[in-house]
Amino acid sequence: MAELKTKQHDGDVYEFINTFTDTEQKRVDSRELVELMQKVTGHPPRMWGPSMIGFGNYHYKSERSKQEGDWPLVAFSPRKAAISLYVFTGAPEHEYLLKDLGKVTMGKACIYAKKLSDINLEALEKLMRATIEFLEEKHGKVNRD
């Protein structure tokens, strides 16, 4: 079984933001996302892999393979092309939460936004809360940092 490459580590979140982001706007958006996600989850920001900032974590076991591991409850990455938001379960019953989110595009496992001002932050907060509730129901109470 292949080992997950994206693991939590002790890297400095703010140093990462300052060195990885390519514009001042991405730095400001990233710091604002850190505050929002920390408020919603109650967890401090932690680095996951080389470029993801995650909050909290849970242990999962795949229903389709033997893969299992730890993953953040919610996370984001301030990539060059767009901010990648890992805040959506992908469950059909949660799709209604996407309609008020704003100017975003969808990937298979994440939501992309060019800048934070394109997103309705109230809708994002509702989406994150629904995701956390879903994950706790499916995987049990989440790990506390």
* 82: helix, strand or coil: coil
Task: Please report whether residue 143 resides in a domain.
Answer: no
Instruction: State how far the Cα of 82 lies from the Cα of 107, in Å rounded to an integer.
Output: 12
Q: Domain range for residue 74?
A: 8-138
Task: Please report whether residue 31 resides in a domain.
Answer: yes
Task: Please report whether residue 145 resides in a domain.
Answer: no
Task: Please report whether residue 75 resides in a domain.
Answer: yes
Q: Is the CB of residue 74 less than 8 Å from the CB of residue 56? A: yes
Domain count along the chain? 1
Task: Please report whether residue 28 resides in a domain.
Answer: yes
Q: Is the CB of residue 110 less than 8 Å from the CB of residue 86? A: yes
Report the first-to-last Cα separation within the chain, whole angstroms: 27
pTM score of the predicted model: 0.91
Instruction: State how far the Cα of 74 lies from the Cα of 57, in Å rounded to an integer.
Output: 8
Render pLDDT for 30-76 as a digit per residue (tens, 0 to 9). 999 999 999 999 999 999 999 999 999 998 877 777 778 889 999 99
CATH number for the domain spanning 86: value is: 3.90.1150
Task: Please report whether residue 3 resides in a domain.
Answer: no
User: pLDDT higher for 83 or 89?
Assistant: 83
Task: Please report whether residue 144 resides in a domain.
Answer: no
Task: Please report whether residue 73 resides in a domain.
Answer: yes
